[in-house]
Structure 1
Amino acid sequence: MGNALRSLYGKCCKPTTADESLGPHGVSAATVGVSALAHDLFNFEITSQVPEELGSYVVSSRKAQANWYRKMLDAWKQAKPPPQTAEEASRLIIDTLKRHQKADVEGLLTFYGLPLPHTLVNLSAEAPTSLPDGVLYELQTLPVDPKAVADGDTITVYVSTADPSVSSTVPKEVILASVKRAKARERKDYDKADELHKKITDSGYRILNIQNEEILARKFRIRLRGIDAPESQMPYGKEAQQELLKMVGKKSLRILVYGEDRYGRYVGDIYCNGRFVQEVMLKKGLAWHYVAYDKRTILAKWEKEARERRVGLWASSNPEKPWDWRRDRRQGNNQN
């Protein structure tokens, strides 16, 4: 048994508490997905038994199911690196069982709460090696606070003031307040330290603790260039926010800034671990191409692909556009 499978098994096999609902495979709802699959593969290697409840999701016999788990166990061990995300686990199952019945493959994926084949996307965009035309500057962010992902197209990020992109613009009073705060904390004058930190945050900066190191960082509100995600109160608004959070939460980002919008947000293209975030949002049907502000044909192409596959918000034949939704509510408020 590989260490990665043991690790995931351990995560999903903690005793459940009284208020935790159990998934179909006998583990807590919080562990459904990659960890649950790892749990069942680990159990299969020891007992040669498949989950009892799986038969309610698939059409083939128990003997056939055991054959699937044998194949998946071998594929998992050979994968380098092994699956870490729901999409990676889904692809492993699809590739391993590609000659099996569609109903069985989709039933198995549904059993583990993993993405179905038609919802998976193949990414094509690569992070540019040089700055494209129109880019004002590039930001390399600190890990993103999950609470800073407001919705499907806006996030708040922080960049260390040691970074060349911001180092020359830090106000002297912010640097001085940072030094005084550190000294106040040394002498345990926490009230003074908090007062100085408020001065720093009011100036658009913040002291972050990253791996036990305090870092002075500048705050940037980022609007994803070229897309418009559903508002939080709209259908798929929550799903869009969760998808963006899943991609960028606790990760450092590369952001190419093209300008500012009328709300003071920086408009930019975002790359995370080499993935172009806007491509993912469009191909998963969780955003529109914001053609009024961005004429890139590739964005229109990605939106069209999602429409044709009827994924995400395109499951509806005529989803309401977020700019129309905002306009209607502004007009309604003006009439009241």
Structure 2
Amino acid sequence: MGNALRYLCGDCLSPQTSEGAHEVIPGSTGFDLLARDLFQFENTAQVPEGLSQHVDALKKTQATWYKKILAAWKEDPPSNAEQAAILIVRTLQKQQKVHVQGLLAFYGLPYPIATTQAPEDTAQKWPQEVKYEFHTLQVDARAVLDGDSINVYVDTKSPRESAVVPISVQEATIERHEARARKDYARADPLKEQIESAGYRVFDANRNGDDVLARKYRIRLRGVDAPEGKQPYGKEAREALLNLVEGKCLRILVYGEDRYGRTVGDVYTRDVFVQEVLLKQGWVWHYTHYDKRPEFAEWQKQARAARVGIWASSNPQKPWDWRKERREGIAIETFA
């Protein structure tokens, strides 16, 4: 194939195992493996043997799929797992859905639900600028950092996550499970640290007796700014957020990341919009520098008129001003 695909594949262009299943390559993902197989298909016209375990189509039919996917890839190369999944679904839209799903499952790629929805449905589902959404596991008290930040975990079995779990993390998870079954905690504990250092966590034994591998995200509530912990009302703001999310699974609409690597999003518990409640209760400021939504301004206005939360004070200090003062104070001490 072209140099672009060869460069993308890199070390993932090693041969398949004798059984035809994908060779385990540390750090590679389903996206890498698909790129490798397309490269090999162009050079050998052979499809992966292991695919027949996921689809019941003839090899000739599978080869036709790969030929079409290869042509589409060359025309508009995807850069991540989601884009690759969308390319496959669009390219094979006339094939049986079960076959497309089997092909995606073979590579652990997410099924791109959004491609089956009309544009107007998507627009109604998400506010403008939202990139995607995810659903979290239950939130515990320690996860609430302050009045506008939460650590959450997302099950890697979800379509979006399953395609990007590093193979090294998958292997460590399996080995840890086996070590714990043998009560070999001297081996299991370092593996736990390895998994967590990669940004994941294993939750032991759910209702079905299975371990749950989840990815960690630090969430920054979009459009609001809470008093810092050492500010007046800082503890109360954290408590208010904790009361809203503790023990609940959250739905988060993601806008992107901030400069600290936090995921910026709108947070919901069922049909409750968390930012709305915090603004109406008066525990956060509308952060107009980053968010211009008029409803946020209106909710803050209501709380201020009712003198609730931080507005019980006649002149509460804005969190961004408080932080600026501390930064400038440190600078003065440093250069004094």
Q: Does 1:164 align with 2:159?
A: yes
2:242 corresponds to which of 240, 245, 261: 245
- Can you list the C-alpha shifts for 1:204-252, whole angstroms capped at 9, x where unaligned? 0000134464200000000000000000111111111001101101100
Distance in 2 of aligned mates of 1:248 and 1:213: 25
Alignment of 1:106-121 (within 5 A): none
- Alpha-carbon spacing, 1:129–1:245, altered in 2? closer, same or farther (3 Å): farther
2:170 corresponds to which of 164, 170, 175: 175
The CA deviation at 1:129 is 5.9
Aligned to 2:132: 137
Q: Does 1:149 align with 2:144?
A: yes
Aligned to 1:125: none
Amino acid at match of 2:271: G
C-alpha contact (below 8 Å) 1:137/1:165 kept by paired residues: no
Distance in 2 of aligned mates of 1:213 and 1:312: 43
Indicate the SS of the match to 1:141: strand
Which of 211-220 and 289-298 deviates more? 211-220
Aligned to 1:310: 307
Which of 309-318 and 216-225 deviates more? 309-318
C-alpha contact (below 8 Å) 1:138/1:165 kept by paired residues: no
The CA deviation at 1:130 is 1.2
The CA deviation at 1:133 is 2.2
Distance in 2 of aligned mates of 1:223 and 1:256: 11
Q: Does 1:187 align with 2:182?
A: yes
Distance in 2 of aligned mates of 1:196 and 1:316: 50
Amino acid at match of 1:155: I
The CA deviation at 1:132 is 2.3
Distance in 2 of aligned mates of 1:131 and 1:182: 38
Amino acid at match of 1:302: W
* Structure 1: segments with no counterpart, 5+ residues: 1-127
Distance in 2 of aligned mates of 1:319 and 1:213: 49
1:329 corresponds to which of 320, 326, 329: 326
1:287 corresponds to which of 269, 273, 284: 284
The CA deviation at 1:335 is 0.8
C-alpha contact (below 8 Å) 1:139/1:159 kept by paired residues: yes
The CA deviation at 1:203 is 0.1
Distance in 2 of aligned mates of 1:302 and 1:131: 20
Amino acid at match of 1:176: E
Distance in 1 of aligned mates of 2:149 and 2:210: 27
Indicate the SS of the match to 1:335: helix
- Can you list the C-alpha shifts for 1:244-293, whole angstroms capped at 9, x where unaligned? 10110110000000010011100000000210000000000000000000
2:230 corresponds to which of 230, 233, 243: 233
- Alpha-carbon spacing, 1:302–1:146, altered in 2? closer, same or farther (3 Å): same
Distance in 2 of aligned mates of 1:186 and 1:161: 22
The CA deviation at 1:137 is 1.2
Q: Provide TM-score, normalisation by structure 1.
A: 0.61
Distance in 1 of aligned mates of 2:222 and 2:243: 19
Aligned to 1:300: 297
Amino acid at match of 2:236: E
Q: Provide TM-score, normalisation by structure 2.
A: 0.61
Distance in 1 of aligned mates of 2:210 and 2:137: 12
Tell me the number of residue pairs that the alignment of Structure 1 and Structure 2 aligns: 209
Amino acid at match of 1:134: E
Identity of aligned residues (%): 56
Distance in 2 of aligned mates of 1:206 and 1:216: 6
C-alpha contact (below 8 Å) 1:142/1:157 kept by paired residues: yes
C-alpha contact (below 8 Å) 1:160/1:217 kept by paired residues: yes
Distance in 2 of aligned mates of 1:199 and 1:306: 46
RMSD: 1.2
